[in-house]
Chain A
């Protein structure tokens, strides 16, 4: 069971203090669930790590998705990937590709929704919001609770449990210094950061481009 820091803050003062983080993060979950009890407010420990993506750099190669699936499940499946990239091949840049990674929300609605504590904040692992598979009963409430589309919690149809990004803390096949998706991205479009990124309802916006960005890597010499 997660441990929380108890303070004397009133609930109203706490919620006011959260105002800068974005409506989705605050109100997406069910207030009064596991995290917020009627008589006292609890300070939810923030995650010590976040995945951010420079959406312009992404080439939709899906390598991040596959590396994630490999790192956790030992196989390659887009449905198992805890970071999703979706592409509209008939749309123009920049609206053609969207990356949908878990935001390690300040107020994790998925944690709040879990009836067994499977989906929890792991204070021994940098406060990452992760799912203990042994405790998951497959109710899928966390999947429904995620305020984002698509839900950042996946359904593992083969093993019948929920799963989500754990910043590779529990990745059986990967123990590199950074999450597998960060390591694999050939565009260096994904970064692992330790501070809460500036958010809006449309996501994190980061610029990972250098001044060398955009130079073509090949000039044809036709046969």
Chain B
């Protein structure tokens, strides 16, 4: 299909060989996680996959796939996104197959170089970086880069690829008539954390686009792979060029008008508008637009996410941090200084430079402070550290803290393996999970059971916090400040909730969260995320567009938006439901890989790990708000209702059976059945699972 550029790069670091796999072999999987999963399955050693309990994820046998979406590198919105998948060292208690993704421009540049994705296997005998210039790929010695942070590494690589600097035309090759670019190489790199095999190490691109979850930075480090650099001077063909431009004009009608500052979005995924303006969800304080700055966007995206600042502290440029990495230290900064200062800015940027998973710190810092308050953590205490967790808030404190994690010094050596492993090592895991101070799932991300139950279920059936905001602003974060009724929310979800179109997918009552409606909501969510979010790719930041002031009957741009752009680029005639069906196949493929690794129904609970009794629905780990309103169907009508009840383990068990049945998975194990896999075109996968006794 158009949107594909023809080849997938296969890099064997052990033998330093480069081959190209034709994309046509994977065309049915479309892009992103679809192609990534299928590629991973073909490349991974099945024995290694099956014995995950005995592995770390740092073995040379681990495989990392880096695959842009099929729409990446075109004018389709969020045209910069790129998926990463492989076995994640961060998972607890054993590494699981998982995925992460990142924005910026790397994915687009890879497409312009002529590649729909890449797969990296093996381990180099000494540190290397990959230098990709169009179809030419070289292994470069990285000994001068090893030890540099992510920002320093990129600057050094830019110098090595084009000494002249940037902003002028330079060639991908030395031949006069070959392609040229004015753009700097797009680089994906690790910092010191990855070099030290941190299980919470990220892959970082430009000033803050990161594949944060999974510890893939540590996987790169274990492979002696410091960075991948790409310049591409080629093109991505699209089926309908005029239609693609017109689709953007159509989308702009739903978008924030930067000249009138008129907001139109009533509900997108996170609530973000289409149409750019600087965001105030970044550093704040003296680092705001009022001090002078601009909106900053990922490649092709009409929904600006970041702010470029006017005068940042020396050596700590800003611009691409937002959300968790920007705010994780803000509370401590304010607590000490009475207002935001440069301290939380330094915290966020240092985290980017070391390449540390921000979610671990967002959750972890308050947890560590709790341990300190309990008298367990401190100088000479049971968990001995020279860091005083009762005296946070300064730049000096956080720099020391992050440095220890990056270099595995002091308690950083334990924290670099992730919070749950640290808690287990220190003998405080069970109590921390039980009292809610450590709300982690599979050691990757937050649990969300307290506010976004459907998202939490999706996560528990996968291998990480899926970070799927799809219905957040429609259902979970909406009231009481929303302008639309609970009934509107439910019917709007049903509108897209194919194939059932059941408003009960929105019922968050005490019965509803264990019901068939919830099972359908979870199933729809996993399929939408697998295909439309992570294979096409549409960014979780602002898609779907549910409700909009300028839509007919206030209906937003989705799913027409996704379909319009997909078909304009690819030339296919895909319907929204067709995409969901591909998503179902991808979800089952991912599920099969997890089954291969031994994942079982008995592991799939909200923390604390079994045995446990129950916990309060609105408990307050770091940023869950008490007394939330949700859509509830009660007395024959839809209402916004504040909830406050405990999730019940026995009822969750029943729900799991219901959900597994809906998906066609074995009730006892939760693993996909042969019939379900064959229906998804995965007979070979079923055979492999059966041979190892892991078939549902």
Contacts and interface: CB of A to CB of B under 8 A. Distances in A.
Interface string A115-159: 000000000000000000000001010010000011100110110
A61 B275 CA distance: 11
Interface string B299-340: 111101000111110000111100100000000000000000
B294 A218 contact: no
Most buried by A among B75, B168, B318: B75
Interface stretch (A14-22, A37-45, A102-110, A206-214): A206-214
A76 B278 contact: no
Contacts of B273: 217-218
Most buried by B among A78, A91, A151, A212: A78
B685 interface: no
B52 interface: no
B477 interface: yes
B552 to A, nearest CB: 22
B235 interface: yes
B112 to A, nearest CB: 6
B509 to A, nearest CB: 20
Interface residues of B, number: 92
B87 interface: no
Most buried by B among A66, A80, A151: A66
Which 4 residue pairs are nearest across A and B when measured between Cβ atoms? A77-B235, A186-B302, A217-B277, A61-B297
A187 B258 contact: yes
Contacts of A158: 179, 234-235
Nearest to A184: B248
Interface residues of A, number: 67
A169 interface: no
B310 A92 contact: yes
Most buried by B among A62, A94, A160: A62
11 contacts: A79-B235, A91-B317, A92-B317, A92-B318, A97-B308, A149-B167, A157-B177, A157-B233, A216-B279, A217-B272, A218-B277
A86 interface: yes
A84 B182 CA distance: 8
B75 A90 contact: no
B237 A74 contact: yes
Interface in A176-223: 176, 180, 183-184, 186-188, 210, 212-223
Nearest to B315: A90
Nearest to B624: A223
B130 to A, nearest CB: 20
Contacts of A98: 167
B615 to A, nearest CB: 18
Instruction: Decide if the interface of chain A is mainly helix, strand, loop or mixed.
Output: loop
A220 B300 contact: no
Nearest to A91: B317
Nearest to B109: A78
A180 B245 contact: yes
B293 interface: yes
Contact of A59 (B166, B181, B296): B296
Contact of A155 (B180, B206, B255): B180
Contacts of B184: 86, 88
Given A59-B295, A221-B271, A150 B206 contact: no
A166 B663 CA distance: 55
Given A61-B297, A154-B169, A220-B323, 15 more contacts: A61-B299, A71-B245, A78-B181, A80-B235, A89-B317, A93-B294, A150-B182, A157-B180, A158-B235, A183-B249, A184-B75, A216-B289, A217-B261, A220-B280, A223-B452
Interface of A: 56-63, 66-67, 69-71, 73-80, 84, 86, 88-94, 96-98, 100, 138, 140, 143, 149-151, 154-155, 157-158, 160, 173-174, 176, 180, 183-184, 186-188, 210, 212-223
B258 A188 contact: yes
Given A89-B317, A91-B317, A212-B259, A75 B237 contact: yes
B256 interface: yes
A91 B621 CA distance: 37
Contacts of A173: 241-242, 245
B624 A71 contact: no
Interface in B155-175: 155, 166-169
B84 interface: no
A92 B75 contact: no
A80 B179 CA distance: 9
Most buried by B among A66, A76, A92, A158: A76
Nearest to A214: B289
B275 A186 contact: yes
Contacts of B180: 79, 154-155, 157
Given A150-B168, A150-B182, A217-B263, A223 B272 contact: no
Nearest to B255: A186
B244 interface: yes
Contacts of A90: 151, 154-155, 207, 317
Contacts of B234: 77, 79, 158
Given A86-B183, A157-B233, A186 B276 contact: yes
A187 B237 contact: no
Contacts of A79: 112, 179-181, 233-235
Nearest to B169: A150
A79 to B, nearest CB: 4
Most buried by B among A93, A160, A212, A223: A223
B168 A149 contact: yes
